[in-house]
Amino acid sequence: MAAEQAAVVVIGAGLAGTEAAWQIASAGVPVRLLEMRPVRQSPAHHSSEFAELVCSNSFGALSSDRAAGLLQEELRRLGSLVIRTADQHAVPAGGALAVDRGRYSAALTAALEQHPLVTVERREATALPTPDQLCVLATGPLTSEPLADDLRAFTGRADCHFFDAASPIVDGESIDLTVAFRASRYDKGDADYINCPMDK
């Protein structure tokens, strides 16, 4: 009888971690997906769902003559869960691929939680795994401080910095449409964007 295959550890269930866990499991390899939320929240997140889009709900231009659109098409052809789910939860955005944030993240979370080869562990990883453990570190700019400190110690680099910006999310009904105006993105597609002029 063959020995049971060791699981690959994926730390972080953002866009990269979600895709990595899905691709590894789809190749028949067990995965342990570690996500710190809701045990530990970051300043930017609003939920505990995977691949929560905290900065923008847009993946950029859809057209394959643009870098973002070309990358999206390549990912589609490679069976990307992240892009396939974005296509399923797209919202009007002119010539861009944008998604309903809540439904998008919920769908990705459900897909990973239901995959038979993925074990989700809701806990903070405070240190890198041992050298004999195959691991994908996908914590990105919202890496918790203990893990960031361990990564700095491991690399010997003090100049590793982890930070991110979060775009404000406003209630559409709170926008004064006598001042704001609708327009397309880059004059392509429909007027799906509400533009809010602001002073300094």
Mean pLDDT calculated for residue range 8-30 = 97
Task: Tell me how far apart the alpha carbons of residues 179 and 163 are, in angstroms, rounded to a whole number.
Answer: 33
**Per-residue pLDDT at 193:** 81
**Mean pLDDT in residue range 15-32:** 97
Amino acid 6: pLDDT: 85
> Helices marked H in the chain — which ranges?
15-26, 67-77, 81-88, 101-114, 145-155
Structure tokens, 140: 């990105």
| pLDDT tens per residue across span 122-167 | 999 999 999 899 999 999 888 888 999 999 899 898 877 666 566 6
Q: How confident is the model at residue 55 (pLDDT cuts 50, 70, 90)?
A: confident
Distances from the Cα of 181 to the Cαs of 92, 96, 185, in angstroms?
Answer: 16, 19, 12
Q: What average pLDDT score do residues 36-58 get? A: 85
> For residue 112, what pLDDT is reported?
98
Beta-carbon contacts of residue 129 (< 8 Å; ≥ 6 apart) = 9, 11, 135
pLDDT for 164 equals 59
Overall residue count recorded for the chain in this entry: 200
pTM of this prediction?
0.81
Phi, psi of 137 (to 5 degrees): -95, 110
The pLDDT tens digits for 67-124 are 999 999 999 999 999 999 999 999 988 888 999 999 999 999 999 999 999 999 999 9
The whole-number pLDDT of residue 110 equals 98
The predicted pLDDT at position 2 comes to 47
Residue 162: what pLDDT? 63
